[in-house]
Structure 1
């Protein structure tokens, strides 16, 4: 049984490593603001087109940045949930076999 728990921990670490290598992007204003994040929801970079940078449009820029950030995080969340769901199904399948429930 401990072997199964260790295997589950290793699988979780593998998923985290894989999610770190997946890149998602959120854009606003037709790509003039672009946020890149890992599927682990860590922001990696922010690009703002030069034409949007001025003190006069600071509030608009902040709003667009929020849109792009939220899009990137939503993509990361979708990927993360898919990966975890697949791992959970595999783990519960293994646990069912552990207790003699062949599925």
Structure 2
């Protein structure tokens, strides 16, 4: 009914390995986001890890303004990272999946 079960298991292991490799690669993909007219720069990985934050001295005088700009900029960077992460992980997972009969019914 399902053909070669051993072959499908091997394909699933390959898919899992591909997903793990993609996760590792996404740690090296850096996303830069600028805010406050370029006075704040946030760098995150595609795995949504903050790597760097750079703040122009002119924003250090107003803590509330700095916090607002920082929140906006970090959220924009994390959103972009999430989009890239989801796309790459979906590609990695799909590329290694075995062709299981009747699974296309669930699309």
Higher relative contact order (CA 8 A, sep 6+): 2
Partner of 1:45: 52
**Larger relative helix fraction:** 1
Give the length in aligned residue pairs.
Answer: 95
Q: Structure 2: 5+ residue runs without aligned partners?
A: 1-7
User: How many Å apart are 1:91 and its aligned residue?
Assistant: 2.7
Q: TM-score, normalised by structure 1?
A: 0.83
Q: Is the aligned partner of 1:74 residue 2:67? A: no
Q: Structure 1: 5+ residue runs without aligned partners?
A: none
User: How many Å apart are 1:2 and its aligned residue?
Assistant: 2.9
The alignment yields a C-alpha RMSD, in angstroms, of 1.7
The 8 Å contact of residues 23 and 37 in structure 1, kept in 2 or not, is answered as yes
Q: TM-score, normalised by structure 2?
A: 0.80
Matches within 5 A, 1:15-26: 15-26=22-33
User: Once superposed, which parts of structure 1, at least 4 consecutive aligned residues long, lie more than 4 Å away?
Assistant: none
